[in-house]
Amino acid sequence: MWKSEDGFTLLEMAAVLLIISLLLLVLIPTMTNGKEQASGVSCEANIRVIRSEINLYYAKEKKYPETLQVINRGSEAKPSEMTCDGKVYAYNAATGELVE
């Protein structure tokens, strides 16, 4: 006669661990790419906001700001540049453009 015991066998546990590890191998690269994409989207949104602020300044003052610091943006070392996600954006005060 067979005795019935509750629980999992060693083979069943090994199979479950194998399936979980395969799922993790598939998901980890996907999640790291998502972080990079989110960072890029966030940077693009910030650039759009700054361009909008430049246009609002122009609408109010009838001239473009001399530097990005006038609208509380830009770095202190280079007031006509902004760094976002490793890219440097230069500001042209004559045209009011922010270009990469």
Read off the pTM: 0.59
Q: Which residue has the higher pLDDT, 28 or 14?
A: 14
pLDDT band at 2 (very low <50, low <70, confident <90, very high): low
* pLDDT tens digits along 27-56: 887 777 777 777 778 888 888 888 888 888
Cβ-contact 66, 59 below 8 angstroms: no
Residue 10 CA to residue 33 CA, distance in Å, equals 36
Q: Where are the domains of the chain?
A: 10-99
Q: Which residue has the higher pLDDT, 12 or 71?
A: 12
Question: Locate tokens 């910030």: which residue?
Answer: 46
Question: In this predicted structure, what is the pLDDT of residue 77?
Answer: 61
Question: In this predicted structure, what is the pLDDT of residue 16?
Answer: 94
Kindly state the tokens that stand for 32: 């790291």
Average pLDDT score over the chain: 81
Residue 45 CA to residue 22 CA, distance in Å, equals 36
Query: Of 58, 43, 40, whose CA–CA distance to 97 is shortest?
Result: 58
